[in-house]
Amino acid sequence: MKNSLKELVTGFNSLVIGMKITLGQFFKPTVTVHYPHESLKMPKRFRGHIELVRDPTTGKAVCFACKLCERACPSDCIIVEGAKLDGAKKRSVTQYMLDFTKCSLCGSCVEACRDGAIRFSREFNLASTNKEDYIMDLFKRLQDEAKANPEPQAKAAAASPAPPNAVPKAESAQPVSPPQSKN
């Protein structure tokens, strides 16, 4: 009798505690990210498809078409072409095609690159109904980006790829407002 009464009281008490906790949560702000209207900022080490890196001083691609990445790729999904332009000391890239349908995001190309000329992008929204959308012209992408954002210094400094052996602090996932539409 005494035990069952005690059980009744402690049981009822636990119910009251549970209701207090849920009421506390009720008045706290919500944590939902309203996805199509806002999206999360991808962390620094996010492995999207690869992209060419711009030289912060010249604004051109760092890549000089040495083709190490092309050779390192186990799936043969990279095609690089380069040419020596008039008056330039080094070759520079003229075409960089990525066949993303074959890419397994292994990162061998990024590892093989000696000059940090390619890195993983933070593009995550890659859904498409069209297979051709995945044959990506990364050189054209770089040029478009340069057109849209002609001063690369500030942005490039902020977005410079982290050294491969130093793991950066995980960025807290903060909702960023403007909707990121693909292409």
Partner 1 sequence: MTQAIANLLKLLATEPYRLLLFLVCMLAFVGLNAAYLVWVERKGAGRFQRRPGPTEVGPAGLLQPVADAVKLMSKQLIVPAGADTTLFRVAPLLMMSPALMSLAVIPWGQGLAARNINVGLLMIFAFGSINVMAIMLGGWSSRNKYAIISAARVVSQNVAYEIPMLLVVITMIMVTGTMNLSEIVQQQAGGFWHWNLFRVWLNPLMPVTFLIFFICMLAETNRAPFDMTEAESELVAGAYTEYAGMGFGVFFMAEYANILLGCALGTALFLGGWQSPFGVLSGVIWFLLKMYFLVFSVVWIRWTFPRTQFYGLLNLSWKILIPVSLFTLVLSSAMMKLFHA
Which spans of this chain sit near partner 1 (rule: CB under 8 A)? 8, 15, 18-19, 21-23, 25-26, 28-32, 34
Least Cβ distance, residue 74 to partner 1 (angstroms): 42
4 or 165: whose CB is closer to partner 1?
4
Q: Which has the closest alpha carbon to 49: 115, 7, 103, 4?
A: 103
- Residue nearer to partner 1 on the CB measure, 16 or 170: 16
Residue among 40 and 154 whose Cβ is closer to partner 1: 40
Nearer to partner 1, 2 or 28 (CB): 28
Overall size of the chain counted in residues: 183
Cβ at position 171, least distance to partner 1 in Å: 22
Taking the least distance from each CB to partner 1, the nearer of 8 and 83 is: 8
- Least distance between partner 1 and beta carbon 8 (Å): 7
Q: How far is 10 from 6, CA to CA, in rounded Å?
A: 6
Torsion of CA 22, 23, 28, 30, to 10 degrees: 50
The neighbour count for residue 173, using CB atoms within 10 Å, is 11
* Smallest separation, CB 35 to partner 1 (Å): 11
The Cα 4–Cα 17 span in angstroms is: 20
Q: Which helix (H) or strand (E) holds 50?
A: strand 50-52
> Could you tell me if 126 and 182 are in contact, meaning their C-beta atoms sit under 8 angstroms apart?
yes
Query: The tokens of 60 are what?
Result: 């051109």
Q: Are 101 and 60 a contacting pair, CB within 8 Å?
A: no
Residue 40 Cβ vs partner 1, minimum distance, rounded to whole Å: 15
